[in-house]
Amino acid sequence: MKQLFLALWLTVAASFSASPVFAQALVSAGSQRAPADFSIAFYYSADIPWEALGAFDVAVVDPGHVSESMWHHRLNPRTQVAAYISVGEVHPTRSYFGAVDKTWQLGLNTDWGSVVVDQTSAAWRAFFVSTVVTPLWRAGYRSFFLDTLDSFHLVAKTPQGKADQARGLAQLVRDIKRAHPEAKLIFNRGFEILPEVNALAWAVAAESLFQGYDAGKKAFRAVPQADRDWLWGQLKRCKDEYRLPVISIDYVPPTQRQLALDTAKKIRALGAIAWVATPELDSIGVGNVELLPRQVLALHDETGHLAQLATHEMHRLGELPLNALGMDASLVAVGSPELARHTQRPLRGRFAGVVMWFSQGGFPKDPNVLKVFNRAREEGVPVVMVGSLPEDAAFEPFDVDVGKVVRLGEALKIEKLSPHVGFEVMPSPIQRELSPTTLRNPTAPGTEVWLRVRSANQVYSDAIAITPWGGFAAERFWKLELPQNKGSRWAVNPIAFFGRALQVDLRLPVPDVTSENATRFLITHVDGDGFASRAEVPGTPLASEVMLKDFLERYRLPTTVSIIQGEVGATGLYKALSPQLEGIAKRIFALPHVEIATHTFSHPFFWAEAELGLARDNRPVGLNIAGYTFDARTEIAGSAEYINTRLAPPGKRTRMLLWSGDTQPLAAPVREAYRAGLLNMNGGYTVISRLESSLSLVGPLGMMKGEHYQVYAPNQNENVYTNNWLGPFYGFERVIETFEMTERPQRLKPVNIYYHTYIASKAASIASLHRVYGWALKQDLNPIFASEYALRVLDWRRATVSRLVGGDAVAGELELRSGGEHLRQWRVSATPDAPVFARTLRQDGWAGQSRVGDSLYLNAIESVATTSMNPVTKSIFDAKNASAVTLKSANGRVAAWATQVQPGEPLVRVTLASALALRAQFESACVADLGLSSKGLAIRRTANQWDVTQSMLEGAHDGSKDIVFRCPR
């Protein structure tokens, strides 16, 4: 495997080890021996797909490709990261190669240009531990994959020479464990030294048990039976005699996914752990689980910076439909080095599809676009093209013809062939010209023409179509731009179109951030603008004082409140008022239901311009604070530290950064927020209303900024609903329409009451905010802090759906990993063959399910849950399942779920925690025990349904309540 690691080792930033979340992701636990059936992935290329690797228990990566940025937020914290290290050889590209003493160099591996090292040298062993292993340990790695353990055979030709090298190698393993006793060591072969050091190994791997790769001939091959028998004999000894888990790494072409699956199943049948991938180990292959990818490779033609990319249609319009389908977009620009890299490595397994959305002036000429296009086709990855379509030659392999442009003198005839067309508006028949796009075989299996247009002289074009390889939609027909810059309208249902074109299996559960236990979240957060404003009410108090008394003290909901240091602090704009403003801020932050956030130091209005030192139409780029120039650390970490030291009560610290102004920072400020330990939110544009009823006005979940993710606010604030605070000042009440329209027909967003402090400065806006709070309190909602929502979005990005492969796996059995400890909601289309879940004495990770609209909400209580795509037909209340208790819905979180098995009747105890008076609904043939359940609960039964409510007279509602069921056998 040495041939795979020619990349330069990089020093991993010391900030990694300082991060508790990063450390948690890597810290080892448990015994020296690995679990017998853990899943493992090997990925040695650049641009590591951390989110995808979270589907596995262990991910082996080359540290030379690990970014200096903190990446722990992209990887499931349950996944252990193992660092690849070459023990027997050193390649000249390694950073420490120049320090390798000449006396330690025994010879060369001429195939790969590596130096074979003398393992008998004590100086070499000390150098290896101190220079290679220990820096990785300091960086946070706790697991190590030891490669090239048999390289000494290239230079040691005598039995004595080989024995001496093996003894030295065994001593090196002992030295590593002596220096780092908790290190988990995975051997690649090393069969000669295992008799001596097997007790120090965590697992043993070997390559090519069934399928291999001849690097010299550059050819894949089936392993000969004799070679297979010998290798399995070695691995079987490790498995049976040394009691070590064994791993087989096999190689197949990326175009032969079924062969990869079959090979993994053969490995699993032997009781070994499988990884079947490409020989470069630059793909998401098949192991004990097969990842069913959720990420889409999204190609766009925006060449500007990230704030400009945020306005590109691929992000602004295209990502919401993908999010609604449970998918995340990896945005890659035409002409970028990243696009070039994607032409060189497999797409299958890593991406659910490729979306090409070009809107800046025609289909791009970059040859890498067509290379990705054709690679996806060859590997069976769906391709969807929208906007500008390619010319005839590029479409040739896809059985699509593109004719010459036809000038039109009359309106087109619209032939609507799908009910999904005419979604918000009918396609316009008035066009100046037509580029005929026609399918050669429109009746082929998997082909559906959704929209066909025809000219007066019988020239027709298939404008929107689903094809066996994906689908396409012509720019002028699948959405319309309204005149006078009034926005976009969808002529085709974008969720339905992307779902069909990307061949989404609607039976697969997807993670959901809108809800928990089928109950929609309520998030309340406040930007600090206007903290010093005077309210236009009797006495002209400060708006911040009105907000405190009229809203924060009255509506005791979890609320995230921020301030701007440049407004409140003594060095800011209002020096004379600062003591009073700081006093109000202290009272607000002392409230137990208030979470502290910063809204920066100077409230940048235009983040990109502020960072780049550019002007913005002669407008200021931030508050004009004397003597201050933009500095990302001052804006973020500095303002948080000001709050922590001056305003926060003991034991309470700033939790979040709420982006200011245009809310579109570049990568560096987002990275600064993560380095400061702050979650972040704001941005996006969700303002759909009855006046402007379009999904184009519902924003995505967020956006990657470099290596870090910016979480968007679920909704927008009163500034948008009041025409930039020009009036009408009661306009914020229209946010209720937004809440309702993002609930039906599909729940797209949580409820988000988001406002500025200055909303408390005018009577009309104060009244509107009371109406919004009043509406929310009448709904069945689950209030959480903004930070809790942001954590769920991060979990959503790294959540994985995998199919169990071989071994004891049942056909169609799925493993769902939520991406962390926060997200517990999954969702599936409520189709006739949707899965049915029952909570029984068997711990499978589920609490229950509930239908909401066209979706089935699946309530998980574990970060890893399993289910099957096969529908369950029997009743959950049959005689064999009499102890089933399922949670249909609750306005809180499941804090505990325990079954006490005892003679006669098991007891099922469910502990729920809610910020409001508890409301929950169970389904069970068991009997709720009022005596054992918490006091203050009213429990009513109708058939097998149990409705639990908490008395409003029961004091504070942020504690936990127990509901206990007796389940007679």
What is the tens place of the pLDDT at every residue in 161-193? 999 999 999 999 999 999 999 999 999 999 999
The reported pTM is: 0.94
Distance CA 176, CA 88 (A): 14
**pLDDT attached to residue 15:** 32
Does the pLDDT of residue 529 top 60, yes or no? yes
* Percent of the chain predicted with pLDDT > 70: 93
Distance CA 223, CA 219 (A): 12
Distance CA 573, CA 555 (A): 30
- Of the given ranges (59-73, 375-389, 524-538), which has the lowest mean pLDDT? 59-73
**pLDDT attached to residue 959:** 77
Q: Whose CA is closest to 523, among 742, 757, 776, 746?
A: 776
Token pair listed for 392 = 């005839």
CA 527 to mean position of chain CA atoms:
26
Distance CA 735, CA 753 (A): 8
Contacts 24+ apart (CB under 8 A), 212-217: 212/250, 212/251, 213/251, 213/279, 215/3, 215/111, 215/279, 216/111
Distance CA 407, CA 336 (A): 35
**Taking the CA atoms of the chain, what radius of gyration do you get in angstroms?**
30
**pLDDT attached to residue 543:** 98
Band (pLDDT 50/70/90 cuts) for residue 832 is low
**pLDDT attached to residue 955:** 42
**pLDDT attached to residue 913:** 95
List, in sequence order, every residue forming a beta bridge with 451; answer none if it has no partner: 416, 464
- Of the given ranges (431-435, 506-510, 706-710, 889-893), which has the lowest mean pLDDT? 431-435
Does the pLDDT of residue 59 top 60, yes or no? yes
Q: What is the pLDDT of residues 621-653, one digit of tens each?
A: 999 999 999 999 999 999 999 999 999 999 999
List, in sequence order, every residue forming a beta bridge with 204; answer none if it has no partner: 187, 246
**pLDDT attached to residue 23:** 35
Q: Is-contact 126 90, C-beta < 8 A? A: no
Does the pLDDT of residue 860 top 60, yes or no? yes
Q: What is the pLDDT of residues 570-626, one digit of tens each?
A: 999 999 999 999 999 999 999 999 999 999 999 999 999 999 999 888 888 999 999
Residue 589 CB burial class (10 angstroms; 0-12, 13-18, ≥19): buried
Cα distances from 19 to residues 13, 80, 519, in angstroms, run 11, 15, 33
Beta-strand pair 751-756/519-527: parallel
Band (pLDDT 50/70/90 cuts) for residue 97 is confident
Q: What mean pLDDT value characterizes the chain? A: 90
810-838 per-residue burial string, b: 16 or more CB within 10 A, e: under 16: eeebbbbbbbbebbbbbbbbeeeebbbbb
| Averaged pLDDT, 200-205 | 97
Report how far apart the first and last C-alpha atoms of the chain are (Å, whole number).
Answer: 57
* Percent of the chain predicted with pLDDT > 90: 75
**pLDDT attached to residue 870:** 63
Q: Give the number of other Cβ atoms within 10 Å of residue 904's Cβ.
A: 8
Q: Which amino acid is at 636?
A: I
Distance CA 574, CA 567 (A): 6
| Averaged pLDDT, 141-162 | 91
Distance CA 290, CA 284 (A): 9
| Averaged pLDDT, 771-782 | 97
- Of the given ranges (142-156, 184-198, 521-535), which has the lowest mean pLDDT? 142-156
Q: Which amino acid is at 561?
A: V
**pLDDT attached to residue 845:** 85
Distance CA 827, CA 852 (A): 10
C-alpha atoms less than 13 angstroms from C-alpha of 551 in its C-beta half-sphere: 34
Q: Whose CA is closest to 271, among 243, 301, 312?
A: 243
Distance CA 511, CA 7 (A): 35
Does the pLDDT of residue 141 top 50, yes or no? yes
Distance CA 806, CA 267 (A): 8
Distance CA 968, CA 962 (A): 19
**pLDDT attached to residue 883:** 58
> Residue 424: what are its φ and ψ, rounded to 5°?
-115, -20
- Angle of the 578-590 helix axis to the 639-646 helix axis, nearest 10: 80
Q: Give the number of other Cβ atoms within 10 Å of residue 878's Cβ.
A: 10
Does the pLDDT of residue 733 top 50, yes or no? yes
Distance CA 53, CA 601 (A): 37
Which residues touch 929 (CB under 8 Å, ≥6 apart)? 907, 964, 965, 966
Residue 774 CB burial class (10 angstroms; 0-12, 13-18, ≥19): exposed
More confidently predicted of 96 and 128? 128
Distance CA 854, CA 77 (A): 32
**pLDDT attached to residue 181:** 96
